[in-house]
Amino acid sequence: MDETGPAERGRLSARPGASAPEGARRDAWLLDVPAAAQAGVACPLVVFFHGAGSSARAGLGLFPSDVDVIRLAPQSSGSTWDLIEGGFGPDVERLDDALSTVFASYPVDADRVALGGFSDGASYALSLGIGNGDVVTHIIAFSPGFVAPQWQRMRPRVFATHGTHDRVLPIDRCSRRVIPRLRSAGYDVTYEEFDGGHVVTPWHVRRAAEWLMGRRRSAGGRERTCG
């Protein structure tokens, strides 16, 4: 019998409309809520994971602040995310608390719940997002190194970028292996390579926002353009 808990299995239990957990550590994440959500309008939610050795503040900056999106940026419990340091666990628990708090406090567009990140954070977003496709609808991966989900739930759409001169996570060993693997598994992937290093360009930050806001799922499971 598997005696591991949901966090160790990389599973998120938070869902829109659920009550907030008691004793959640609000110092473990940063949250930016647009005026529309504060006024009761259901808005997309994006969670961004920072790179190794970085901060939640850097994660928050991976998505434009002028879009009506709830931005959540957790802080890893270690120097990087738990999966990279040995396996899912404490960071999944903290994220679950954060998501439960947001879902209980603000209206969230359940058709646009995204995980994203840069570098180690991108690998984490891919791995955690693919294993939680029953709540995560979109994944944004800037310069990911790998994908290692413990589960596969549905198929979130993926937007990924990678610099062709990346010396930290070389593109040939990383995205050029990860992206074909995802596509062969049936994932809808938008992938863009660019002439640059291990960076997130402002242009791609804006492109990711346009990609996320451009389509949503219809009641029949297909996607439709908003507007």
Q: In residues, how long is the chain?
A: 227
Average pLDDT over residues 177-205: 97
- By the 8 A CB rule, do 16 and 39 touch? no
pLDDT of residue 224: 33
pLDDT of residue 152: 86
Those residues with Cβ within 8 angstroms of residue 133's Cβ, 6 or more apart along the chain or in another chain: 152, 153, 154, 155, 156
pLDDT of residue 6: 84
Average pLDDT over residues 121-147: 97
- How many helices (H) does the chain have, and how many strands (E)? 7, 9
Tokens at 167, concatenated:
């010396």
Domains of the chain: 26-215 (3.40.50.1820)
Residues 20-57 have pLDDT tens digits of 666 566 678 999 999 999 999 999 999 999 999 999 99
pLDDT of residue 156: 97
pLDDT of residue 226: 30
Percentage of the residues of the chain whose pLDDT score is greater than 70: 88
Q: How far apart are CA 44 and CA 83, in angstroms?
A: 26
Average pLDDT, the chain: 90
Average pLDDT over residues 11-23: 78
Q: How far apart are CA 213 and CA 162, in angstroms?
A: 21
Of 88-102, 179-193, 213-227, the poorest mean pLDDT is in 213-227
pLDDT of residue 220: 34
Of 17-21, 68-72, 75-79, 144-148, the poorest mean pLDDT is in 17-21
pLDDT of residue 1: 40
Tokens at 9, concatenated:
């299995």
pLDDT of residue 151: 80
pLDDT of residue 218: 38
pLDDT of residue 24: 61
Task: Give the CA distances from residue 13 to residues 76, 98, 152, in Å, rounded to whole numbers and listed in that order.
Answer: 19, 11, 15
pLDDT of residue 225: 31
Percentage of the residues of the chain whose pLDDT score is greater than 90: 81
Amino acid identity for residue 157 in this structure? R
Q: Which of 35, 96, 21 is nearest to 70 (CA)?
A: 35
pLDDT at 107 over 90: yes
- By the 8 A CB rule, do 125 and 55 touch? no
Q: How far apart are CA 125 and CA 121, in angstroms?
A: 6
pLDDT of residue 5: 79
DSSP letters, 125-184, are: HHHHHHTTTTT--EEEEES------S---S--EEEEEEETT-SSS-TTTTHHHHHHHHHH
